A and B are shown apart, each in its own frame.
Chain A
Amino acid sequence: MRFTLNGAPAEVDAHPMARLLDVLREQCGLTGTKEGCGEGECGACTVLVAGEAVCSCLVPFAQVEDSEVVTIEGLGGEHPLQRAFAALGGAQCGICTPGMIMTAMTLGPEPGIDEVRTKLAGNLCRCTGYEAIYRAVLDATRAEAAA
């Protein structure tokens, strides 16, 4: 089945009911996407499909045919959100971080704190480092707007 993965064409042979999460981690070797709860409650497995944040543990592979999928690896490592999370202590144990960043990718330009809190409400951080996460997101989105 064909789809676009992090900007490049991809063709993967997997069961149509396979979870997108498993296809990404095990067949595409992209282990940046984490499995947390496996029931859509924690957001650790968040990726973008057609630009929208989704839990990849709840997406059948069949449904991304011909779609554009972006994972944390697609950001390259020097994205302003990645740099801000690292610089401002937005990542502690790191399990929630890729999902947090992928959801934050769907924020509008220069979001306020309420918008950030609401948009990230489906991403849980069990280190409870939310304040540092919000600071990192606000810092990165402000820097992007200024650039």
Chain B
Amino acid sequence: MRTAVSALDLRKPSSVDEALAMLRDDGPRVPMAGCTDVYVSLNFGTLTSARFLDIWGLSELRGIEEADGGLRIGALTTHAELWRSPLVLSRLPILAAACREVGGIQIQNRGTLAGNVANGSPAGDTLPVLAVADAVVVLRSADGERRVPFNGFYTGYRATVMRPDELIVAIEIPPVPDAQWFRKVGTRAAQAISKVVMAAVRSETPRVALGSVAATVVRLPQTEAALAAGAGIEEAQRVLMEEVTPIDDIRSTADYRRRVCANLLARWWDSSPMKLAS
């Protein structure tokens, strides 16, 4: 049943500094931006908090810029802004591809990259991309800023290293080799939540990340090591199927997911020519 809004408390800071002060002095509050996750919980009566912080209007947290040969993406940058960005299309085309498959245009216009990260769903479409890109999550509190490697950000199912007084202010992406690959498998291209979602980068040290096959998005170090050591694709598939820990749920079964991600590994490996950094 839908949550009655009369009991909910919202504050609307006008700057990042003010937001951080509110989180420190008047917390805990759940930051909300495009609300594409928060309002689903509100509509289904499953909110876990009654206190919110509306950061949607903080324009300091928007925008995509070049940084150290890679990208710095403001926390509130939406999926639609990402897939339309020439910088993203040239540097990290798999992020644009992932953003185009999030929900429909209505969700892409509102959902933000940092919201996808903070929500921490194991099925989050952009998360395998950030994992293979070795992205860095920039967290800020009233005490200062810290940078956390994306691949160390999650500690368990929807659990992160973030403190309640911290906000994600940006996602930083170092330069990523050109041979990038992304594939989402769901019941339908639009709207569907993934059964399996994979991002990969082909280089001398191949990188593979998967969503919807474990409690969090995962990199596959054993599969990557097997490929780097020259294992055949069948051997790498065998390693991968041991390495993932999918479950049966409403969207798919563990067996199906294991089989499909092995198939995706082979499809990637066959389709993506080796490119060395020049």
Contact = CB atoms under 8 A, between A and B. Distances in A.
A123 B104 contact: yes
A60 B54 contact: yes
B101 to A, nearest CB: 10
A9 B179 CA distance: 51
Contact of A43 (B8, B12, B106): B106
Interface string A53-86: 1110111101100000000000000000000000
A17 B191 contact: no
Contacts of A19: 5, 39, 42-43
B231 interface: no
Nearest to A41: B191
B54 to A, nearest CB: 6
A111 to B, nearest CB: 13
B10 interface: yes
Interface residues of B, number: 30
Interface string A112-124: 0000001101111
Interface centre among A43, A46, A58, A123, by most chain B C-beta atoms within 10 angstroms, is A58
Interface string B238-252: 000000000000000
A15 B10 CA distance: 9
Interface in A77-119: 103, 106, 118-119
A43 B108 CA distance: 12
A52 interface: yes
A38 interface: yes
A90 to B, nearest CB: 18
A41 B104 CA distance: 8
A84 B57 CA distance: 37
Given A38-B2, A40-B36, A40-B40, A122 B106 contact: yes
8 contacts: A19-B42, A38-B2, A53-B105, A55-B36, A57-B43, A62-B10, A121-B104, A123-B104
Interface of A: 15-19, 38-41, 43, 46, 52-55, 57-60, 62-63, 103, 106, 118-119, 121-124
Please list the 4 inter-chain residue pairs (A to B) with the smallest Cβ-Cβ separation, ordered nearest first: A122-B104, A121-B190, A58-B39, A38-B43
Interface of B: 2, 5-6, 8, 10, 12, 32, 34-36, 39-40, 42-44, 52, 54, 56-57, 80, 103-107, 109-110, 189-191
